[in-house]
Structure 1
Amino acid sequence: MLLLLLISSAFVLPWAGAGRIIGGNEVVPHSRPYMAYVLMHVSNRSGSKAFYCGGFLIRPDAVLSAAHCVPKKGRVNITVILGAHNIRIREWSQQWISVRDWVFHPRYSPDSVKYDIVLLRLIRRATINQNVQPISIPCRNERVRVGTKCSVAGWGRTYLTGHSSNVMMEVDLKVQNDKLCQQLSSTYLRRSMICVGDQNSRKSSFDGDSGGPLVCNQKAHGIVSHGMGRRLFPEVFTRVSYFEPWIRQQLRRFALQELPASPSSQ
């Protein structure tokens, strides 16, 4: 009950610039089995706070998210919740797994939000079943084309003001030309970022779902990273394919240390 109460009072990371699902719809429950709800408890001299972000399972023992989601100061405890639809109740399908440790990309910059990626190592392997499954990531040179319709899911706010969503929501967004984001931001890097959005500003992601995946052609091509100030369009996503060699390297390091086996699938 304590953890559920903490979730109810959790608030959005103040530096999270993207993640609210605007103009989207509730997904069919458990139809996005790769989605992860990343719950963080941070303790320091001033007290303790709870934060949340999105993430996605790429291997039974590993979840990808945005680096800006994880505070670098204070004592941080992270729990990943897999198999969830309504995050406010303890569904039978949910798996709550503590995060053993995490790795930021060495070139991550909190100020410019460059190289905004973090790999979370779970304390045990998730049980893979119909409600919890990893999603594929693209290869190093695999790029998603301009105009491709992708989807972003999460539990962030659905309006400019108000509370986060209890249930998983999803919105379709199109990949934009890099030049659009380059014109609006001097820190935009086309090799490691993706420019995405709905130019009519009727659909968007913003506060609450940073770290969630941009799914294009059934692969996680992007990670919800940040927006352009208070603009709803366009948004910047971390380009997963650029980091694929680094991700594989970290996963190999994880494999060097044996993890306990997951319990039998139900």
Structure 2
Amino acid sequence: MLLLLLISSAFLLPWAGAGRIIGGQEVVPHSRPYMAFLKIKFVNQSGIQTSRCGGFLIRPDAVISAAHCVAEKRRVNITVTLGAHNISVREQSQQRIPAARWVIHPKYSSDGHINDILLLKLKTKAKINKNVKQIDFSGSNEYVRAGTKCRVAGWGRTAVKGHVSDVLMEVELKVQNEEPCERLFLNYLRHSMMCVGDKNGKKSTYSSWD
């Protein structure tokens, strides 16, 4: 059985836009109006580099993503694109807004992706419309039970070494019991993570953008 870890903060974070959506399919364009695409420029020993991640719009001026998208990078510049389906073209629905500043969860740890949460403040507020909307939060007392089917969306590779998809993809995964993840992952935390996966091992998400 293939088991996944997804950081949770009342909802599933996108694992950096779910860097890989394996065994999934293209979503109906703009059916996930809360999705945000992050283009990240940074500097390393090879010069100026570019990576990308995904996130959720949580209010008109704020996006939540994954801390590992920017952790340990120098001179980071982030542009957030909202209302996108195909990020390789300039769709009329898209709104591109620079991130004014951001903060990583103070207890983030790259070892096991604990508290892998990044909060970004946008330079200007997004214009809310049919293609750009805030994500709905679950109630504080809601609990996702084992057997529940959930969907994870993102832009990225469609296989571990597959091509990069420029259109938004999604995969359906089932919430598993906690015990297998606790057994397989030393850093698994019940209070802030969810154990999900596909028993056939043909569906997955993966967070690397190499």
- 2: distance between equivalents of 1:113 and 1:208? 12
Question: Would you tell me which structure has more helix in proportion to its own residues?
Answer: 1
- 2: distance between equivalents of 1:49 and 1:187? 30
Deviations 1:47-69 (A, max 9, x none): 11001011011111111111111
Aligned twin of 2:23: 23
Q: Residue 143 of structure 1 aligns to which amino acid in structure 2?
A: Y
User: Are 2:208 and 1:202 aligned?
Assistant: no
- 2: distance between equivalents of 1:103 and 1:160? 29
Aligned twin of 2:136: 136
Q: Residue 122 of structure 2 aligns to which amino acid in structure 1?
A: L
Aligned twin of 1:247: none
Question: Would you tell me which structure has more strand in proportion to its own residues?
Answer: 2
- 1: distance between equivalents of 2:208 and 2:30? 20
Larger mean Cα displacement after TM superposition, 90-99 or 110-119? 110-119
Aligned residues: 194
Q: 1:72 Cα shift?
A: 3.1
- 2: distance between equivalents of 1:119 and 1:75? 17
- 2: distance between equivalents of 1:152 and 1:129? 22
TM-score (norm 1): 0.69
8 Å CA contact retained: 1:87, 1:166? yes
- 2: distance between equivalents of 1:208 and 1:182? 22
Deviations 1:156-205 (A, max 9, x none): 11122232101111111111111110000111000111111111111111
Deviations 1:193-226 (A, max 9, x none): 11111111111111458xxxxxxxxxxxxxxxxx
Instruction: State the identity as a percent.
Output: 61
8 Å CA contact retained: 1:155, 1:208? no
Aligned twin of 2:166: 166
Gaps of 5+ in 1: 1-15, 210-266
TM-score (norm 2): 0.87
Q: 1:23 Cα shift?
A: 1.2
Q: Which runs of 4+ in 1 moved over 3 A?
A: none
User: Are 2:36 and 1:60 aligned?
Assistant: no
Deviations 1:106-160 (A, max 9, x none): 1111223111111111111100000000111224443211111110111111122
